[in-house]
Structure 1
Amino acid sequence: MTVKTLTAAPKPALGTVLSLLVVTWVLTAALAPSVLTDGSPTAIDLHATLLPPSWEHPFGTDDAGRDLLTRVIHGSRQSLGIGLGATALAFLIALVLGFTAALAGGVVDAAITRVLEVAFAFPALLLALLVISVRGPSLATVVVAVGIGSAPGYARMVRGQVLAVRQAGYIEAAAALGHSRFAVIRRHLFPNAVRPLVAVATLGVGQSIVWASGLSFLGLGVAPPSSEWGALLDAGRLHITTSWWLEILPGVVIVLVTLAVTTLGRTLQRRLEGAAR
């Protein structure tokens, strides 16, 4: 007689739980900021300028008397939107180039691969700066710039993943059973090639937020008086020696959100790798 033992599912690590809390907070701030604050990010109070953090103003106020925490909360929508939009654009470009190169082969594959190698040789931030210099700084330009800057690295991963999946036995079996090339790609190749890249896309969101904030801090992204996190850093640098909270606290939020998204991405990556075994 065989006795089956039931093993409990492993409990999530503390870092994963904290990351979920941070991501939940930023999603709430982006989708429903009124749940976290009833203030306006543009409300000016000249009698409360540059106040340090206190119970009334946990993040202090800026040089126009605006509550910094309220501005950080309302800026979550723009910052998270840039991260998600830029990552989606980068993967859309990567999927088109990666699949085209891997499936076409020959001269097409060689040409796309060379273009990706040349683009990958440039720092991604440099490519983003090139796009901004052509289009001019704006929210849409930042999304396009960061997306294009990230695309070459993702395209190389997509191409490698497609080439690996093409050699799998189930792909050959589906073709041998008489399925059309399009059906094999749609039902078998595409899902199995893209699934492991979901975690990579999650990691890319945090990276895109950091790059977008850096561009705004340099004055090449979203400009003040926007409450996008990089724009807050740009506006606060004029007072960094006297009002430290204008730089430090938005910077801490950017770091925490990026770490949280990265941690969840790593966790998802490990789960997907474990499920594939």
Structure 2
Amino acid sequence: MTTIPLTARRPVSLPRPGTVLSLLVVGFVVVAAIAPWLLTGDSPTAIDLTATLRAPSLQHPFGTDDAGRDLLTRVIYGARESLGLGLGATALAFAFAIGLGFTAALAGGVVDAAITRVLEVAFAFPSLLLALLVIAVRGPSLATSIVAVGIGSAPGYARMIRGQVLAVRQAGFIEAATALGHGRLTVIRRHLFPNAMRPLVAVATLGVGQSIVWASALSFLGLGVAPPSSEWGALLDAGRLHITTSWWLEILPGVVIVLVALSVTSLGRTLQHRLGGAAR
């Protein structure tokens, strides 16, 4: 019977407590977004004027708002819009970024120089300012928030994708595939694109948390999703009118936003480490 030397055995890598906690938080938010009725039996729009502005209690863990609606229920139902904003904005940003980044890196010359200059100018503006410009043109709404945050995030992602494509393009396996007679489109589809995008999967995960925060900030400023929506930023916007008397309307949704953003960021960092990508 052959025994494996102790030196040959690979240690089992257990997930860190922070990673486990982040998974639990993100899992809870996903369940809330897909099936909120599994977490609460109340309605987010049920008005009870006899229970307005009640402090957190066993009956209402997050308290109630000025219409007597249970705040925890509204936070749970708001997860769908907030998570949808984060995912939609990040997907849109990467769609723009992939098109610009790959075009600049593969075309080279004047095209690369022109796209790079445009990206540098766009990147010089604060991302939130670009989002505000989009909202000023289209008007506030859920769809506009997704477009605004996506466009605001795209220049930074495009620069990373361009740099990644240029680095992978010079790799030996790309030259080998070309030498073997594979067509340009085949090399891009089978070799260049997967290897260039692999380290950016973690960056996209980080972007979801960032997009949730930005979308919430726009709603808080009254430029995103408008009440009576239960999107988390809209809850902050509605609660600021009572912040001096009913602190839970502002603090507790804010804590949820921060906790979810930190959890998504933590998972993104873990994924980045697993994939061997450097932090950007």
Partner of 2:32: 29
Amino acid at match of 1:25: F
User: TM-score when scaled to structure 2?
Assistant: 0.97
- Amino acid corresponding to residue 37 of structure 1 in structure 2: T
- Alignment partner of 1:122 is 2:125: yes
Residue 86 (structure 1) aligns with: 89
Gaps of 5+ in 2: none
Q: Distance in 2 between matches of 1:98 and 1:245?
A: 44
Distance 1:22 1:101 in 2: 38
Tell me, yes or no, if structure 1 residue 6 matches structure 2 residue 6: no
- Per the TM alignment, residue 7 of structure 1 is displaced from its structure 2 partner at its CA by 1.9
Instruction: For 2:203, give the aligned amino acid.
Output: V
Counterpart check, 1:45 vs 2:48: yes
Q: Is the counterpart of residue 73 in structure 1 residue 79 in structure 2?
A: no
CA deviation vs aligned residue, 1:144-199 (integer Å, no higher than 9, x gap):
00000000000000000000000000000000000000000000000000010000
Q: What amino acid is the match of 1:60?
A: G
Partner of 1:181: 184
Matching of residue 253 in structure 1 with residue 276 in structure 2: no
CA deviation map 1:115-154 (0-9, x unaligned): 0000000000000000000000000000000000000000
User: What amino acid sits opposite 1:83 in the alignment?
Assistant: G
Letter in 2 for 1:219: G
Report the Cα distance in structure 2 between the residues aligned to 1:189 and 1:251, rounded to whole angstroms. Answer: 41
Other structure's SS at 2:227 match = coil
**One of 190, 196, 202 as aligned partner of 1:199:** 202
The number of residue pairs the alignment matches comes to 274
Q: Using the TM superposition, give the Cα deviation of residue 238 of structure 1 relative to its aligned residue in structure 2, in angstroms.
A: 0.2
Residue 8 of structure 1, CA deviation:
2.9
**Paired residue for 2:61, among 51, 58, 62?**
58
The amino acid of 1:248's aligned partner reads: I
Shift of 1:2: 9.1
Q: In structure 1, how many angstroms separate the alpha carbons of the residues matched to 2:88 and 2:3?
A: 53
* Aligned alpha-carbon RMSD (Å): 1.1
Distance 1:49 1:151 in 2: 42
Distance 2:3 2:36 in 1: 56
Equivalent-residue separation in structure 2 for 1:219 and 1:183 (angstroms): 48
Identity of aligned residues (%): 81
For residue 6 of structure 1, report the CA deviation from its aligned partner. 1.7
The superposition leaves residues 3-62 of structure 1 with CA deviations (integer Å, 9 ceiling, x where unpaired) of 443223211111000000000000000000011001100000000000000000000000
Instruction: Report what 1:147 is aligned to.
Output: 150
Return 5+ residue gaps in structure 1 as ranges.
Answer: none
Alpha-carbon distance between aligned partners in 2 of 1:24 and 1:151, rounded to the nearest angstrom: 27
- Name the amino acid aligned to 1:64: A
**Letter of the structure 2 residue corresponding to residue 253 of structure 1:** V
Equivalence for 1:220: 223
For residues 98-137 of structure 1, what are the structure 2 equivalents within 5 Å? 98-137=101-140
2:168 aligned residue: 165
User: Could you tell me how far apart the structure 2 residues matched to 1:6 and 1:143 are?
Assistant: 48
TM-score (norm 1): 0.98
